[in-house]
Amino acid sequence: MTTPAETSADDMQPAPWWSEAVFYQIYPRSFADANGDGVGDLRGVQEKLGYLELLGVDALWLSPVMRSPMADHGYDVSDPRDIDPLFGDVDAMDDLIEAAHARQIKVTMDLVPNHTSIEHEWFRAALQASPDSPERDRYIFRDGRGPDGSEPPNNWPSIFGGPAWTRITEPDGRPGQWYLHLFAAEQPDLNWNNPEVFEDLEKTLRFWLDRGVDGFRIDVAHGMAKPEGLPDHDWDTNALLQNADDDPRFNHPSVHDIHRGIRKILNEYPGAMAVGEIWVRDNVRFGEYIRPDELNLGFNFRLAEAEFSAESVREAIENSLAAVEQVGATPTWTLSNHDVDREVTRYGGGVIGLARARAMALVELALPGTTFIYNGAELGLPNVDLPDDALQDPVWERSGHTERGRDGCRVPLPWEGVEPPFGFTTGASTWLPMPEDWSSLTAEAQLEDVTSTLSLYRAALELRELRPEFSGPGVDWYGSPPGCFAFRRGGGLICALNATDAPISLPPGEVLLSSAPLVDGQLPPNAAAWLI
């Protein structure tokens, strides 16, 4: 757990609990299955709280568990104030919050304000209503272009591939208007110019906060607001699952009014927080989301995007620190999540990829601010190359089977045993197939091995919690050999990275922890170390 809250030199007020916290992202369908149906659930999460306490995390971030037809695995929400039966019910969520709090672990959950499911009661009502009706105005419906309205209202593509518009059939059977969906067709975008939309979000926020939830991760926090007139755009550089800073679908200035409204509600609940998913490259514009009256935290993905080289990683760190410094906000760090290839695979796979992932774990956990660990990173899991017929990500279908999507980083976690399902479920199969060769990667096997990746994470999190050297904002850089770097925290911690193919000498100091055994006192290739 985190140490007692530090005191800010600026205002002498205790720093908020999340400012140095380690969050653990749980992708619920892949974490632990308590009822044997092959899909993870909330009771499964509760049963593993002892493991999470042993690991040493401060807070959980639950990917979506709200009621959903699962067209996008929960990011298409049909009722934001209920739990989907796939994961349990509201009572199971209440029990999880209570049990986690008893272990001093906070609980945050995903919030999806940009869009709903097509099965949401509002969208069903919109389909039965007439154009220009109040029901349609909760979403973004438009007449089509062309003499018969058969062309989409503009040329926007979906993030998942294909057009961002779908035409409906009117109640009288005629071809009708089109609705906007920046993601899958099953995820219609809400109209945030309609005050009913925020009023409903407020009900959702208070519903969960009143039940003890400690905060929210806001999906597509740079979305929601749309430009007047929905203008066409030049999409020559468009790519699936990405957006540039000039993309009219995202980052409209009026989105900040929405975040100010959310923050006002959170401020009524002591300790409540929100972290936004913000895919904005420009640091000034990124910083606008984490001003004192908006989001508490913003995901900065530069570290997850950096290749394994000292130059790229240092640039990502410096850029991320600069992005928050201008507004006095807290930096955030993550190496992977449910949308990003696992670090072992990104860094080359196999023995080299694992060594680099272990090194980057120490780099990440040495940095000031808030850290997010994706479930399974602590086990050193790689992406899984799944067969075509196992893929479930909507990107696979919408791209015409040209993009395999994100399923490879969402395979269920191995807990124990020597063959699938490795204790994930008592059932015969899992929602995504597990590799046969993961027996050495199970939590059980790694807990018994002091050299394992899990043991490395446990040792690192314990040191981060207990040692006073892990303090102070910003970092100071040492002069280092080419292909390497070293930085120092204000409290005295030194972190060194060797991204070369030869051992290097370490800076002076006592070694607290290294991602690989030292070689004659030197740091081996693809390794990192902590010193004081």
| Torsion-angle region of 330 (φ positive above 0: left; ψ -120 to 50: alpha; else: beta) | beta
| Torsion-angle region of 39 (φ positive above 0: left; ψ -120 to 50: alpha; else: beta) | beta
- Residue 219: active-site member: yes
Cα distance between residue 59 and residue 73, in whole Å: 22
Lowest mean pLDDT of 39-53, 84-98, 392-406, name the range: 392-406
Strand partners, 115: 189
Q: What is the amino acid identity at position 222? A: H
Please report the pLDDT score of residue 242 as a whole number: 62
Work out the average pLDDT over 198-210. 98
Task: Read off the pLDDT of residues 111-120 as tens digits, 9 standing for 90 and up.
Answer: 999 999 999 9
Instruction: Give me the helix-helix angle, 350-366 and 453-466, nearest 10°.
Output: 10
Please report the pLDDT score of residue 161 as a whole number: 84
The reply to whether omega before 331 is within 30° of 0 (cis) is no
| Torsion-angle region of 424 (φ positive above 0: left; ψ -120 to 50: alpha; else: beta) | alpha
Q: For residue 7, how many C-alpha atoms fall within 13 Å in the half-sphere facing its CB? A: 4
Are β-strands 22-26 and 59-62 bridged in parallel, bridged antiparallel, or unpaired? parallel
What is the distance, to the nearest Å, from the Cα of residue 247 to the centroid of all Cα atoms in its chain?
21
Task: Read off the pLDDT of residues 359-412 as tens digits, 9 standing for 90 and up.
Answer: 999 999 999 999 999 999 999 999 999 999 999 887 788 778 878 889 999 999
CB of 164 closer than 8 Å to CB of 155: no
Task: Read off the pLDDT of residues 441-486 as tens digits, 9 standing for 90 and up.
Answer: 999 999 999 999 999 999 999 999 999 999 999 999 999 999 999 9
Cα distance between residue 367 and residue 491, in whole Å: 12
Q: For the chain, give the mean pLDDT.
A: 95
User: Among candidates 300, 303, 113, which has minimal Cα distance to 216?
Assistant: 113
Asked if pLDDT for residue 3 goes beyond 60, the answer is no
500-508 long-range Cβ contacts below 8 angstroms, 24+ apart:
500/525, 501/525, 501/526, 506/531, 507/478, 507/531
Task: Read off the pLDDT of residues 414-432 as tens digits, 9 standing for 90 and up.
Answer: 999 999 999 999 999 999 9
Asked if pLDDT for residue 102 goes beyond 50, the answer is yes
Asked if pLDDT for residue 45 goes beyond 50, the answer is yes
Q: What is the amino acid identity at position 70? A: M
DSSP structural state of residue 56: T
Comparing 235 with 166, the larger pLDDT belongs to 166
What is the distance, to the nearest Å, from the Cα of residue 242 to the centroid of all Cα atoms in its chain?
15
Residues 200, 214, 219, 247: which is the catalytic one? 219
Comparing 4 with 119, the larger pLDDT belongs to 119
Cα distance between residue 415 and residue 137, in whole Å: 48
What is the distance, to the nearest Å, from the Cα of residue 416 to the centroid of all Cα atoms in its chain?
26
Residues 268, 311, 416, 448: which is the catalytic one? 268
Query: How many separate helices (H) and strands (E) can be counted in the chain?
Result: 14, 18
